[in-house]
Structure 1
Amino acid sequence: MDYKELVSHGDLHYSHNVKRSEGGLPIGNGVMGSLLWTSPSAVKFQVNRVDVYANDRSTNSFNQRHMDYGYACGFVDIDFVDYGEDVFQDGTIRQHLSLYDALATIQGNGVRLEAFAYDHSDVFAIKVADERDKPQGINIKLKMLRPAEVQTKSHLAVSTLSMRNGMMLLKQEFTEGDYYCSSVVAVGISDRDGVIRMNDEAGGREPVCDFRASRVLGQPNETEMRLCVSPASGGFEILVASAATFDRNEDITAAAVKQLEAARAAGYEQMLQEHRSWWNEFWTKSYIRLSSEDGSAELVEKHYTYYVYLMASNSRRGNYAPNFGGMLLSPRGDLRHWGAMQWWSNLRLYYNAILATGHYELMQPYFSMYSGMYDSCARAAEQQWGSKGIYIPETVWFNGVDELPEDIAAEMRELYLLQKPWEERSEKFKRYAHKKHPHESRWNWKGHEQWIDGELVYTDKSWGPFGSTSHMFGNIAGIAYHYWNYYEFTRDVEWLRDRAYPMIKGAAEFLRNYPSMRKEDDGKYHMYNTISGEKYIGGKDTIQVMSSLYGIMPVLLKAADLLGVDADMIPVWEEFYRNLAPIPKSDHPEAVFKTGENEPAIWVGAIGKVLDERRDFATEPMRYFHLCSLETAYDQPDWFETGAATLAFQETQLGGDWGRAATEMSSVASMLAGMGHAEGFKQAVLAQLECINADREYCYYQDTGRIKFYDNRLTVREGVNAISAQRLGNVASGLQYAVCQSQPGGPGKESVINVFPACPKDWDAEFSLWCQGGFRVTSAIRQGVIDSIRIVSTLGGTCRFRNPWGDTGISVVQEEREAITLQGSMLAFETSPGTVYTITRTQ
């Protein structure tokens, strides 16, 4: 495979200045990232980090939507023009992002710049060449994101500019009570003389007004510092380092300076060589190549490759996942729609397709973030709900959930479990809640807000304690299931024991012990008063939570058995699992949506009355937990039939056009591919890439200029400054399912490899992807014909796969050994670690 040729299909090429900064070229090393964009005279970027947050779970200062902030550290402009002609003009400018090398190049009139985010430390390395007949001085500007000092209630943000050892430094400090976070950006040059200037009274050489005892009043005026580079022909390097900490006692400035000095000592060319080497090796792990006469396959392929690049640039090495709306790429400061919290229903879309790429390292920030909040979530399960295990809110701060005063917790339990009328909540509870952020799930019942006579006034959402995400619990099991999937791909028993099992058990125990879980006269356990995907408010047996239970319980039982733990609990869990109420279907007398008497039953959202009056079918079992896919037809055919009937019903509702269901966040492409619907998958995935439903589903569409997607294939579906690649994650997951599946017939069951189960008939495809069990599978289909399958067993064990040639006999060759012959639809053979197997049909 010529990886460079293949990966370059996804490159970005511009011959114009982007009209909006959101369309810039993305670079990042997983901890630190930015878009690069141009003005007529400058190259601009914003330094963002995954570990910079203005506030955390303890805040009482951000009780208004969209006002909490984080991630950004500073602006950097490289200004090429003083008095003279613009250097970046439409038609003559050339901008290129090489995915294979993770290198951005911008060529203007007489100037050239290339940049990358160094893989081995948090440094942007930039090489500039001035080839103009009359070179000019180049000014590198380091700019604050806001005034030097900003007080927001109890929260204080202080930014300070300084200089050291020929470097410009910008330090941010955020404080509120015991909370502290600080970041530093350091900017320096090599191979060219320069002078640092700041236009305050001391020229930036010493602090101004440092004698003040109070903040804000009399704060420094200057918010910008310049490194003025001497005019000369030829090249020089710019290095931009960053660092961040939550420790007040750490000298974070020294950490940033040290990184820059190390980069300067190594030199640009050595860093570039190391950087290229890492990325070039990265691309050999897996791939998908597509082609078709109509060009649709190539369109999907380049977006898939681009998605893999984005994830490696935004989720690697750090302890926190990038924000779902913005990632490390926000270009307009640190305020954005939906703030700085994580919303799991959005965040999961970035990670669903990672494991099949084989780049398991890209999952680690996601796992580190959620594992890091375990203790706070265990306390929240007890305090807020009177349950066991862990309660991870759908919308949560980066470090989890704040501990409540005991009297507030006691009243919250009564209110949220409907044991106390909402109208009788105490004034103390109201005052406490008023200070809390309305996006946080536990306070999400807050509705419309407005300022009246200087006071922020809320209404609730008319459902009492229910908000859009307040009683959403499917995410808890969804997060835990990602941990389980990681084990299924890696078979790392130590990781299962130490990292995955606590999350799996915690999720299952929270749901099992939720006080509104009841065993009724029918002998079944029913769940009351939950929410499914921001709808079916207060419903019984809502589709999302029941799917979660059917997903997480068998996985818990299998994990406990594998690890030989919790023997006393296994009978309890087995009894609970055996007697779960069924996932709601339209043939239930109290279903929120009912099909006709002679029509097949389909999945629906809930049983009984729901507060939001929502009445509709549902597809969750085909989108989560491996509950319903092609393999389910063999293990649980009645579920498969219900899934097929639900798809048929939805297709009729859509008039046969699956593109109408393909919104940015929709998993419809994965669902269709998982069920083997090739043409429906194609319709959905192309519509999703073209954003054909943007006008009806984008948040704040008017505020973002009614732009469907930018030059760089990213959207602002979530709103202002909330750069999004969610649809690319959905497309990637759907495409992987279309060419290679390794789902089990149900949660916790043995996985089965199935190649090209939903590849459109007019597409030729070739792939090398990773499957559960540590198998790397490579195959190709051309004009509908599969020649062979190559399987590398990295871990050994039994390889199970569906015969892609029907019941035709197949031959399995282990390297140079004699072939074995197998026959039938379901085939299996034992493998040895590190061994290659080639499978072909015998006739």
Structure 2
Amino acid sequence: MYLKLSRSLLTLSLLSLGSVALAQTAKPATNPQPTANNVTWHTLGTNENDSMPLGNGDIAANVWTEQNGDLIILLAKADAWAENGQIVKLGRVRIKLAPNPFADTVGFTQTLQLERGGIEINRGQNKISVWIDANNPVVHVQAALATAGKMSATAEFWRKTEPISAFAQDSSFAAVMSGQHQPRLKPDVTFPADANRVAWCHYNADSYYPYLMKQEHLESLLKKYPDPLYQRAFGAVLSGQGFVKTDANTLTSAKAQQSLRLDIVALGETAAASPASWHQHIMKLADNASSIDLTAARKAHDQWWADFWNRSWVHVSGSEEAQKVSQGYAIQRFMVAASSRGEIPAKFNGGLFTVGHDMAEGKEDKDNHSPDYRAWGESYWNQNNRLLYWPLIATGDTDLLQPWFTMYTKPLAFQKDRNQLYYHHAGASYPETMQFWGMPRLGDFGKDNPTNEIVSHWQKYHIQGTLEVIAQMLDQYDYYGDKAFVRASLVPFADAIVTYYDLHWQRDANGKINISPTQSLETYQLTAVNPTPDIAGLMSIIPRLLALPSDLTTAEQRTAWAKTLHDLPPIPVGKTAKGKLPPLGEGDPDGKPTILPAEKYGKPGNSENPELYVAFPYRIYGVGKPGLELAQDTYAARRSPQNTCWGQDGTQSSILGLTSEAKKAAIAEFNNYGDQRFKWFWKPAHDYIPDLDNGGDGMITLQNMLIQCDGKRIQLTPAWPSDWTADFKLHAPYQTTIEAHVEKGKVTKLHVSPASRAADVVIVKARN
């Protein structure tokens, strides 16, 4: 048995929902403030595992204290990608005060101030403020002391360093840049303390890119597409008014003062001619930073964070568990804001907040490592990383979404050419695991692989993630109406992906696309036929592409998309007995109908539920849509329950209106605390700490419990438990915002902007 849905079937009267329209009321008088979620500690730390996160979206830092009262800042930057294809830290700065009023725990507090993006340390009348300017590439450290003292700042390195005078091109340069050998990680470069400043950088004098291109049989494209790693330079400079050099890596204030200020300026360049040219540029930035009116800069910085927190919020109460969910939601959003305004998106496996300690070179493992280490390495996994970015559509954080979209749209021409070389037809496909410039991870492609097919059976045919990126882009357009984004980014990208699906596989006897050989996510590998996630993805996005304004697409594109939609095979449905999926898609005549992971599939190799992609991310089934019971039965029969890390229970149960399941998942996700002192560096589970896809998963779940949109219809509380109270502001399609209070299952204080959209809001009575 199969099921095929058309766009016309995805409508349902509001009466059949058991829903009622709610009249718009006055706007709530006050907004919940993020100060309720601030984190305060009352004792000094010991090491890097006692750090708090900070960032302006491009520059980030782990900040901690040690038992002697030293303040440590571990610096990271979104574009700090070394020549070996690995994202690394910038360095570490140790700050000392003499005498040090913070070397005693009595009366000590350290607070992460979410509302203003800063960390404040207090003891008595002594205060240190650390903040990374939201509008400038500067970390500011300000000390206000009861008694005059001196401050010193030392740049610390765990990678090898060499002075600029010793910098020279590696003798293996020709072999590396011809693709014969992989590069080695070079030492960082340090500069003389000119103008009483300490500066250092990492400079990519060669690159992993040619080696990877040769290994993956793409040498012919080397000259056409610029190397994304070669001559990339990144680093920082320490400076401060009245500070002087005291050794090669240390600045110290020349005299004791009650008010002290240190600036750490960071710079990344994608094509620096040399370390010396990078140094010239960062010294100019340091000059600019030193002349900044700090009072005005802090005011503008605070305003950025105030505006950010006022874009949206979800504040949950009613129980201790609810409050933990509320705080976890706010802190996850903060961590993404602190690390996703740069060139390249935040990584799911630690983001910019990984930590580690000094150790001998080449001795790293998951339990003993430098700050540069992370499990799952350098590549992006679409299935994991998508979870950081889905919730940003409803939060209104469109600026934080851009690096994610750009990572897919920027290499589109390269992907088209790669597709022609590999498959000799038009279109583009992107691998599930890829470098930020679009190439498959070599660990999956296979070293010395003579073919153009990925060797890893986990990833061999895994390409459906791009359909989900298109779905995210379409939501972005539906919510915010940016036609320029659609024209320049969405349509070219979507057209290439749909074209690939149309051309890559043969038609069957009925003229339907026969997607085989392929896989259904990572779970059903190699032998799957017509996988549900891919079919559901195309069924979801193509009608939405066809519905775009005609001035944003061409007649040729619309005709081709409509043909692909017509030629899709149906979503496979079988019968399931005793809560277990039928083997190999055969079905059980005595069971209940359920959606299957694919038309044909083998033994599972992972713990995903591909059949439920029809709920999330593709929302073909959901509250207020036809076939909800079928989808709910499918959820009940799922093979792999999981509600933390990238587990799918929360995202899928919330869409299906399964309130108790969604609530359980939200609690699990936002209580999945890590082993570090800042417990919202989520436990790694399958990934790495902080496990940011875990927090993103929780955000999606919570949002879907409160609000689900289908066309113009806005459904409130489709999976909201009656024993939780919520105050929220979230965004909806057609440039709409919804603010409301929910208590004991009732929605009050509803404010819809623009007011004309209030007629499209319905309240859904949640089921347990």
TM-score scaled by structure 1? Answer: 0.74
Deviation string, structure 1 residues 263-301 (Cα, Å, up to 9, x no partner) = 221233222122112211222222222220x22222111
2:621 to 625, 628, 634: 628
Shift of 1:113: 1.3
Aligned 8 A contact 1:770 1:777 in 2: yes
Of 21-30 and 609-618, deviating more is: 609-618
Letter in 2 for 1:543: T
Measure the CA separation in 2 of the matches of 1:691 and 1:369. Answer: 29
CA RMSD, Structure 1 to Structure 2 (Å): 3.2
Shift of residue 682, structure 1, vs aligned partner: 1.0
Q: 2:245 aligns with which of 196, 199, 212?
A: 196
1:110 deviates by: 7.7
Structure 1 residues 328 and 628: alpha-carbon distance in aligned structure 2, compared to 1, 3 A threshold: same
Contact 2:546 2:561 in 1 (8 A): yes
Matches within 5 A, 1:361-510: 361-401=399-439, 438-439=442-443, 441-443=444-446, 465-510=455-500
* 1:232 corresponding residue in structure 2: 256
3 and 394 in structure 1: CA distance in 2 versus 1, 3 angstrom threshold: farther
Q: How does 1:252-291 map to 2 (within 5 A)?
A: 252-291=278-317
**Is the 1:22–1:35 Cα contact (8 Å) retained in structure 2?**
no
**Structure 2: how far apart are the matches of 1:725 and 1:583?**
32
Instruction: Please tell me whether the aligned partners of residues 752 and 758 of structure 2 are also in contact (alpha carbons under 8 angstroms).
Output: no
Report % sequence identity: 17
Q: Which string of whole-angstrom CA distances, capped at 9 and with x for unpartnered residues, describes residues 694-735 of structure 1?
A: xxxxxxxxxxxxx55642411251789753222211111111
User: Aligned match of 1:729 in 684, 696, 701?
Assistant: 696
Q: 1:474 to 1:799 in 2, by over 3 A?
A: farther
Distance in 1 of aligned mates of 2:507 and 2:583: 19
In structure 2, what is the equivalent of residue 13 of structure 1? 40
Residue type at the aligned position of 1:180: Q
Could you tell me how far apart the structure 2 residues matched to 1:111 and 1:281 are? 29
Match of 2:472, SS state, is helix
Aligned-partner residue type, residue 336 of structure 1: R
Whether the 8 Å contact between 2:454 and 2:460 is mirrored in structure 1 is: no
Aligned: 1:172 with 2:202: yes
Aligned counterparts of 2:74 and 2:700: Cα–Cα separation in 1: 30
- Show structure 1 runs of 5+ residues with no match: 56-61, 63-67, 199-203, 205-224, 403-436, 447-457, 655-659, 693-706, 745-749, 807-843
Distance 1:296 1:475 in 2: 33
- What residue in structure 1 maps to residue 540 of structure 2? 551
Q: Which amino acid aligns with 1:477?
A: L
Query: How far apart are 1:593 and its partner, in Å?
Result: 4.8
- Provide the C-alpha distance between the structure 1 equivalents of 2:559 and 2:131, rounded to a whole number of angstroms: 55
The CA deviation at 1:797 is: 7.9
Q: Which residue of the other structure, out of 215, 226, 249, is the alignment partner of 2:273?
A: 249
**Structure 1 position 645, deviation (Å):** 0.9
Alpha-carbon offset, residue 231 of structure 1: 5.7
Give 1:389 deviation, angstroms.
1.7
Contact 1:115 1:126 in 2 (8 A): yes
Contact 1:337–1:721 under 8 Å retained in 2:
yes
Q: What runs of 5+ residues in structure 2 fail to find an aligned partner?
A: 1-27, 163-169, 173-180, 208-226, 357-370
Does the 8 Å CA contact 1:331/1:721 hold for their aligned counterparts?
no
Distance 2:30 2:204 in 1: 44
Residues of 1 paired with 2:607 and 2:379: CA distance?
30
CA contact (8 A) 2:522 2:606 kept: no
Instruction: Give the direction of change, closer, same or farther, for the CA distance of 1:715–1:20 in structure 2 (3 Å limit).
Output: farther
Judged with a 3 Å threshold, the aligned counterparts in structure 2 of structure 1 residues 139 and 802 are, in CA distance, closer, same or farther, namely same
Conserved? CA contact 1:353–1:736, under 8 Å: yes
Compute the displacement of 1:799 (Å): 5.8
> SS at 1:601's partner residue?
strand
Distance 1:166 1:708, change over 3 A: closer
1:330 aligns with 354
Range moving further from structure 2, 354-363 or 331-340: 331-340
Work out whether residues 477 and 483 of structure 2, in 8 Å CA contact, stay in contact via their aligned partners in 1. Answer: yes
C-alpha distance in 2 between matches for 1:284 and 1:557: 34
Q: Is the aligned partner of 1:642 residue 2:661?
A: no
CA–CA distance in structure 2, aligned partners of residues 375 and 718 of structure 1: 36
Q: Hey, what's the Cα distance between the residues in 2 that align with 1:611 and 1:512?
A: 28
The one-letter amino acid paired with 1:783 is K
Q: 1:454 maps to what in 2? A: none
* Alignment deviations for residues 413-463 of structure 1 (CA, whole Å, 9 cap, x no partner): xxxxxxxxxxxxxxxxxxxxxxxx544x533999xxxxxxxxxxx9x9xx9
Q: TM-score by structure 2 length?
A: 0.81
Separation of aligned partners in 1, 2:448 and 2:635: 33
Q: Distance in 1 between matches of 2:456 and 2:546?
A: 32
Amino acid paired to 2:108: I
C-alpha deviation, 1:171, in angstroms: 1.8
SS of aligned partner of 1:736:
helix
| 3-state SS of 2:78 partner | strand
| 2:217 aligned residue | none
State the partner residue of 1:29.
56
**C-alpha distance in 2 between matches for 1:582 and 1:501:** 25
Q: Does 1:50 pair with 2:43?
A: no
Q: Distance in 2 between matches of 1:619 and 1:105?
A: 45
How far does the alpha carbon of each residue in 1:348-367 deviate from its partner, in whole angstroms, 9 at most, with x for none?
A: 11111001112211111212
Other structure's SS at 1:505 match: helix
Partner SS state of residue 594, structure 2: coil
Give the 3 Å change call, closer, same or farther, for CA 91–5 of structure 1 in structure 2. Answer: farther
The one-letter amino acid of 2:266's match is S
Alignment correspondent of 2:114:
99
Query: Alpha carbons of 1:144 and 1:568: their partners in 2 closer, same or farther (altered >3 Å)?
Result: same
Query: In the alignment, what sits opposite 1:422?
Result: none
Matches within 5 A, 1:811-822: none
- In 2, Cα distance between equivalents of 1:488 and 1:624: 16
Deviations 1:637-657 (A, max 9, x none): 23x33211112324xx79xxx
* Shift in Å, 1:51: 1.1
Distance across 2 between alignment mates of 1:737 and 1:261: 48
1:805-828 superposed Cα distances (whole Å, 9 cap, x missing partner): 89xxxxxxxxxxxxxxxxxxxxxx
Q: What whole-Å deviation, never above 9, does each CA across 1:107-157 have from its counterpart, x for those lacking one?
A: 35885311111011110111023446xx66432111234012699953452
User: Counterparts in 2 of 1:60-79, with a 5 A limit?
Assistant: 68-79=85-96
Spell out, residue by residue over 1:496-529, the C-alpha distance to the aligned partner (whole angstroms, 9 max, x if none).
1111111111111112222xx2321244322012
Mapping for residues 70-219 of structure 1, pairs under 5 Å: 70-80=87-97, 87-88=102-103, 92-108=107-123, 111-131=126-146, 137-148=150-161, 153-155=182-184, 157-162=186-191, 163-176=193-206, 179-190=230-241, 193-198=242-247, 204=248
Matched, 1:534 2:558: no
Map 1:618-697 → 2, pairs under 5 A: 618-631=611-624, 633=625, 637-638=626-627, 640-650=628-638, 661-691=642-672
8 Å CA contact retained: 1:343, 1:395: yes
Report the Cα distance in structure 1 between the residues aligned to 2:447 and 2:585, rounded to whole angstroms. Answer: 27
Q: How many residues align?
A: 677
Residues of 2 paired with 1:33 and 1:481: CA distance?
29
Correspondence for 1:450 = none
Q: Provide the secondary structure at the position in 1 that maps to 2:353.
A: coil
Closer, same or farther in 2 for the Cα pair 1:444/1:90, shift >3 Å?
farther
**Corresponding position of 1:793:** 754
Asked if structure 2 preserves the Cα contact closer than 8 Å seen for 1:263 and 1:271, the reply is no
User: Partner residue of 1:784?
Assistant: 745
